Amino acid sequence: MKKITIACLLGFLLLTIIYLPACKKNEVTSPINTEDANEEYSGGLLATTFDFSENAFGHEVSGLQGTKADDFVVGNSFFRNNWVTAPASTTARDGLGVMLNAQSCGGCHSKDGRAAPPESPTAPLNGLLFRLSVPGTSPNGSPNPEPVYGGQLNNRAILGVTPEGYVSTTYTEETVNYPDGETCKLRKPTYTFTNLGYGIMQADFMFSPRIANQVMGLGLLEAIPEATILAFADENDADKNGISGRPNKVYSVVSKKTELGRFGWKANQPTIMQQTAGAFKGDIGITSSLFPDENLTPAQAALYPNLPNGGTPEIEDVNLNRVVFYMRTLAVPGRRNTNDASVIKGKQLFTQVNCVGCHKAKIETGFDIIPQLSKQVIRPYTDLLLHDMGTALADNRPDFLATGTEWRTPPLWGLGLVKTVNGHTTLLHDGRARNVEEAILWHGGEAEKSKQAFKQLNKAERLSLIKFTQSL
Ligand code: HEC
Ligand code: HEC
C-alpha cells in the first residue's frame, strides 16, 4: 500500500516535470484574438448590430419595446424628414429657417452616416459646414461669433431672405514618400468665401470647416464615466510618450455651468441633447426650449421685421426628446473578419505603433438609465480627448479650451462601413483624406511619432494595419 503511494507520487512528479514546460510553450503560441472575448461586439452585447448593409448605422439597440420602440421610430422621422416653411398644415414640422444649411438632420447625416466634402469649386456644400468667430470669447467661454454672420455660415435661407453666402473649395496635392520608396498623394483644401449676402466679414474672422460625422453609438459615448475620460488625460505628458491629451470644458445651457465636452470635432458640445438642439437651431433654423431665439444676428433681424414663425418653440420638448432618444439608441455595427490573419496582424501593429495611445480600444460604460447602454464593455477606439495634431490639420480657430491645432480623437467604430452606407471613404474633420492611409499620413503633433512608426512599416504591414481599421 505504502509502496504504491510512493510510486504514484514519484510518477506524478516525473510527469509534472516532463509536461510543465510543454504546457507553458502551448500557452505562448495560442492565437491572440481569443484573448479578446466578444471583440466583435463593438457596441457591447446589447447595442451592436450585425446588419452590414447600407442601413448598418440605422439600427436601434436590442430589446426596445412599447413606448421606447415608438420613441425611436418617431425620433427617426423627425431626424430624417424635411422641415417646411411656416405656416404649413404639418404644424409639428414647420418653422424651417429663416437661415439654414439643410432641411433635415438626415440632409447631412444621410442614413445616420457621414457626409463627403465638395469635390469641385462649385459643388454644393451638403454636409460640410463652416463655424465662424472673431478673436476673444463670449462670457460663457464659447467662441465670439462674427458680428454680422454669427457662429456658423448658413448657405441657404427661406424664400425672400438672402442666404449668408457660399464657400468654394479647391485642393492642392502634395506627395508623401515612404522610406521604402512608395509614395502617397495628399490633397489640402483651400476655402474662398463668396456671394456674401450681408457685406464683408470682420477682417480678423476665423473659420473652422467641419464635416457631418456618422452618429451611431453616441449614447454609449455619453455613458462613459467622466472619471474614465479624465484618467486618459496626461496634460503635461508625465509619461513622456509625446501624447498628452486633455479634456475640453464647455458651457452647458441646461446646467448653466462648464461641463466636460464630448461631441463634435473639437468636443465642443457637452451632451447629445445640446448638440441636437444646437443643430436644430444652427443647421435647420428650428428653435427649441434650449435655444428659443431664431438663428439670426441682430444686424440681420433688423432687415426682416415680419418673419414667419413655426411656434414658440418650433420643436416641442416631447419631439426634441424623441430625437435625442433616437440619437442615444442607435446601435454600432459589429466587427467583420476578426479571424482573418492579416486583420489580426493589423490589430497588433495598431497597438505597436501606438495608435491606441489616443484611439482607446476598450472602455466600460457607467450606469445609464437606458439599460442597453449601462455597464457595457465597448470598443469605440477613442479617448474623447483633445490632441494637438500639428499645423497641417489646424483650423487656427479656438473652440472653448480647444486651440487652433487641437481636435478630439474621433471614434473609429463603423469606419469600414462608411463606403457601404454613404458611398465614399473620405475622412478627417473636413473630409480631405480620401482613405485611411491618407488620414494617417495627415497625423502630426502628438501623433507624429505614431505616424512615423507607421511609415517605417513595410508595405504588407501597412496594408494589414489599414485592413484592421476596415474591420472596425
Ligand atoms: C448642415 C449639415 C448638418 C445638419 C443639417 C445636421 N448636422 Fe449634425 N453635424 C454636422 C457637423 C458638421 C457636425 C460636427 C460639428 C462640429 O464639430 O462642431 C455634426 C455633429 C453632430 C453630432 C455629434 C456627433 C459626434 O460624433 O460628436 C450629433 C449628435 C448631430 N450632429 C446630430 C444632428 C441632429 C440631431 C441634427 C438635426 C437636428 C443634425 N445633426 C443636423 C452637420 C450637420
Ligand atoms: C495623438 C493622438 C492620436 C494618435 C496617436 C493617432 N490618432 Fe488618429 N486621430 C486623432 C485625431 C485627433 C483625429 C482627428 C483629426 C482631424 O479630423 O483633423 C484622428 C483621426 C483619425 C482617422 C480619421 C477618423 C475619422 O473619422 O475621420 C483615422 C482613420 C485615424 N485617426 C487612424 C489612426 C491610426 C491608424 C493611428 C496610428 C497610426 C492613429 N490614428 C494615431 C488622434 C490620434
pLDDT per residue over 25-57, tens digit each? 333 343 445 568 899 999 999 999 999 999 999
How confident is the model over 441-464, as a mean pLDDT?
A: 98
Of all atoms in ligand 1, which is nearest to the CA of residue 266? 17
Least confident of 64-68, 89-93, 94-98, 118-122: 89-93
In this structure, the residue with its CA closest to atom 39 of ligand 2 is 355
In this structure, the residue with its CA closest to atom 38 of ligand 1 is 280
The cell numbers describing 215, all together, are: 452618429
CA dihedral 276, 278, 283, 284 (to 10 degrees): 70
Confidence at 451, pLDDT banded by 50, 70, 90 = very high
Of all atoms in ligand 1, which is nearest to the CA of residue 323? 35
The cell numbers describing 307, all together, are: 418673419
How confident is the model over 302-331, as a mean pLDDT?
A: 94
Is the pLDDT confidence value at 21 over 70? no
457 lines ligand 1 (CB under 6 A): no
210 lines ligand 2 (CB under 6 A): no
Q: Find the 16 Cα to ligand 2 centroid distance in Å.
A: 49
Q: Give the number of residues written for the chain.
A: 472
- Please report the pLDDT score of residue 34 as a whole number: 56
Structural contact between residues 304 and 98, judged by C-beta atoms closer than 8 angstroms: yes
Is the pLDDT confidence value at 10 over 50? no
Residue of 248, 359, 442, 462 best suited for mutating to test ligand 2, as the one with most atoms within 8 Å of CB: 359
Q: Find the 373 Cα to ligand 2 centroid distance in Å.
A: 25
**Sequence-separated (6 or more) residues with CB below 8 Å from residue 65:** none
Is the pLDDT confidence value at 20 over 70? no
Structural contact between residues 138 and 251, judged by C-beta atoms closer than 8 angstroms: no
Q: Find the 78 Cα to ligand 1 centroid distance in Å.
A: 14
- Mark 339-360 as b/e (b = at least 16 C-beta within 10 Å): eeebbbbbbebbeebbbbbbbb
Least confident of 34-38, 157-161, 371-375, 467-471: 34-38
Ligand nearest to the CA of 234: 2
407 lines ligand 2 (CB under 6 A): yes
Between the alpha carbon of residue 250 and those of residues 137, 222, 295, 404, the distances in Å are 12, 15, 20, 16
384 lines ligand 1 (CB under 6 A): no
Q: Find the 390 Cα to ligand 2 centroid distance in Å.
A: 12
Q: Find the 244 Cα to ligand 1 centroid distance in Å.
A: 27
Residue with cell 466679414: 201
Residue of 215, 326, 393 best suited for mutating to test ligand 1, as the one with most atoms within 8 Å of CB: 215
57 lines ligand 1 (CB under 6 A): no
Look at residues 395, 50, 431 and name the one whose alpha carbon lies nearest to residue 213.
431
- Please report the pLDDT score of residue 91 as a whole number: 86
Rounded to the nearest integer, the mean pLDDT of the chain is: 93
In this structure, the residue with its CA closest to atom 13 of ligand 1 is 212
| pLDDT single digits (tens) 225-249 | 999 999 999 999 999 999 999 999 9
Ligand nearest to the CA of 323: 1
215 lines ligand 1 (CB under 6 A): yes
**Sequence-separated (6 or more) residues with CB below 8 Å from residue 166:** 125, 155, 193, 194, 195
Percent of the chain residues topping a pLDDT of 70? 93
| pLDDT single digits (tens) 403-440 | 999 999 999 999 999 999 999 999 999 999 999 999 99
In this structure, the residue with its CA closest to atom 35 of ligand 1 is 276
Least confident of 35-44, 110-119, 219-228, 368-377: 35-44
Confidence at 2, pLDDT banded by 50, 70, 90 = very low
393 lines ligand 2 (CB under 6 A): yes
Confidence at 11, pLDDT banded by 50, 70, 90 = very low
Q: Find the 129 Cα to ligand 1 centroid distance in Å.
A: 10
- Please report the pLDDT score of residue 455 as a whole number: 98
- Please report the pLDDT score of residue 24 as a whole number: 37
Is the pLDDT confidence value at 7 over 70? no
Q: Find the 377 Cα to ligand 1 centroid distance in Å.
A: 26
